[in-house]
Chain A
Amino acid sequence: MISLRDKAWSPYVAGVLIGLLQIPAFLLIETALGASSSYVTVGGLVASWVDPAIANIDYVARHIAATGKNWWQVAFVGSVAIGAFISAKFSGTLRRGISPIWARALGTASPGVRYAVAFVAGFLMLFGARIADGCTSGHGLSGVAQLAVGSTVAVAAMFAGGIGAGVLLLRRI
Chain B
Amino acid sequence: MSLITAIIIGLGMGVVFGFLLEKSRVFEPGIIVGQMQFRSFIMLKVFLTAVATGAVVLAALNGFGIVKLHPKAALYAADAIGGLLLGVGIVLAGACPGTTLAQIGVGYRDAIFTLLGGLFGAVAYSYLQPSLAGTIFAAGDGKILFTGLFGIPYWLGALGLAAVLAVVLLALEAWRPWRSEIGPNADGDLGAPAAAGERATRPLPAE
Binding site for B on A (CB under 8 A): 6-12, 14-33, 35-36, 39-40, 42-44, 46-47, 54, 57-60, 63, 66-69, 71-88, 91-105, 107, 109, 111, 114-167, 169-170, 172-173
Q: Which of the listed residues A33, A39, A94, A130 has the most CB atoms from chain B within 10 Å of its own CB?
A: A130
In the assembled complex, the Cα of A7 lies from the Cα of B48 at a distance in Å of: 21
| Chain A to chain B contacts (Cβ below 8 Å), 11 pairs | A35-B98, A77-B97, A86-B18, A96-B198, A130-B125, A132-B79, A135-B98, A147-B55, A154-B82, A164-B87, A166-B33
Q: How far is the CB of B158 from chain A (nearest CB, A)?
A: 6
Tell whether, in the assembled complex, residue B72 and residue A124 are in contact, meaning their CB atoms are under 8 Å apart. Answer: no
- Measured between beta carbons, the chain A residues less than 8 angstroms from B33 are 101, 105, 166, 170, 173
Q: Which of the listed residues A9, A123, A165 has the most CB atoms from chain B within 10 Å of its own CB?
A: A123
Across the interface, name the chain A residue whose C-beta is closest to B108: A95
- Measured between beta carbons, the chain B residues less than 8 angstroms from A72 are 6-7, 9-10
Tell whether, in the assembled complex, residue B147 and residue A147 are in contact, meaning their CB atoms are under 8 Å apart. Answer: yes
Tell whether, in the assembled complex, residue A97 and residue B201 are in contact, meaning their CB atoms are under 8 Å apart. Answer: yes
Q: How far is the CB of B104 from chain A (nearest CB, A)?
A: 5
Binding site for A on B (CB under 8 A): 1-3, 5-30, 32-39, 42, 45-58, 61, 66-76, 78-111, 113-127, 129-130, 137, 140-141, 143-147, 149, 154, 157-158, 161, 169, 173, 178, 182, 185-189, 192, 197-202, 204-205, 207
Tell whether, in the assembled complex, residue A147 and residue B161 are in contact, meaning their CB atoms are under 8 Å apart. Answer: yes
Main secondary structure of the interface of B (DSSP, over half): helix
Tell whether, in the assembled complex, residue A102 and residue B109 are in contact, meaning their CB atoms are under 8 Å apart. Answer: no
Given A84-B27, A129-B82, A122-B101 contact (CB < 8 Å): no
Q: Which of the listed residues A63, A72, A138, A164 has the most CB atoms from chain B within 10 Å of its own CB?
A: A72
In the assembled complex, the Cα of A97 lies from the Cα of B53 at a distance in Å of: 35
| A-B residue pairs, 3 tightest by C-beta | A19-B53, A83-B18, A161-B87
Which of B27, B80, B107 contacts A94, CB < 8 Å?
A: B107
Which of B10, B67, B71, B74 contacts A153, CB < 8 Å?
A: B74
In the assembled complex, the Cα of A88 lies from the Cα of B32 at a distance in Å of: 18
Which of A21, A105, A129 contacts B13, CB < 8 Å?
A: A21
Which of B49, B72, B120, B187 contacts A148, CB < 8 Å?
A: B72
Q: How far is the CB of B22 from chain A (nearest CB, A)?
A: 4
- Measured between beta carbons, the chain A residues less than 8 angstroms from B106 are 84-85, 88, 93-95
- Measured between beta carbons, the chain A residues less than 8 angstroms from B72 are 133-134, 138-139, 143, 148, 150-151
Tell whether, in the assembled complex, residue A101 and residue B189 are in contact, meaning their CB atoms are under 8 Å apart. Answer: yes
Across the interface, name the chain A residue whose C-beta is closest to B71: A148
Which of A123, A132, A157 contacts B117, CB < 8 Å?
A: A123
Given A44-B122, A93-B106, A71-B145 contact (CB < 8 Å): no
Which of B8, B42, B130, B207 contacts A58, CB < 8 Å?
A: B130
- Measured between beta carbons, the chain B residues less than 8 angstroms from A36 are 97, 122
In the assembled complex, the Cα of A12 lies from the Cα of B166 at a distance in Å of: 10
Given A80-B101, A131-B85, A143-B71 contact (CB < 8 Å): yes
Given A83-B22, A100-B204, A126-B119, A156-B58 contact (CB < 8 Å): no
Tell whether, in the assembled complex, residue A76 and residue B17 are in contact, meaning their CB atoms are under 8 Å apart. Answer: yes
Q: How far is the CB of B87 from chain A (nearest CB, A)?
A: 3
In the assembled complex, the Cα of A12 lies from the Cα of B11 at a distance in Å of: 24
Q: Which of the listed residues B14, B81, B141, B158 has the most CB atoms from chain A within 10 Å of its own CB?
A: B14
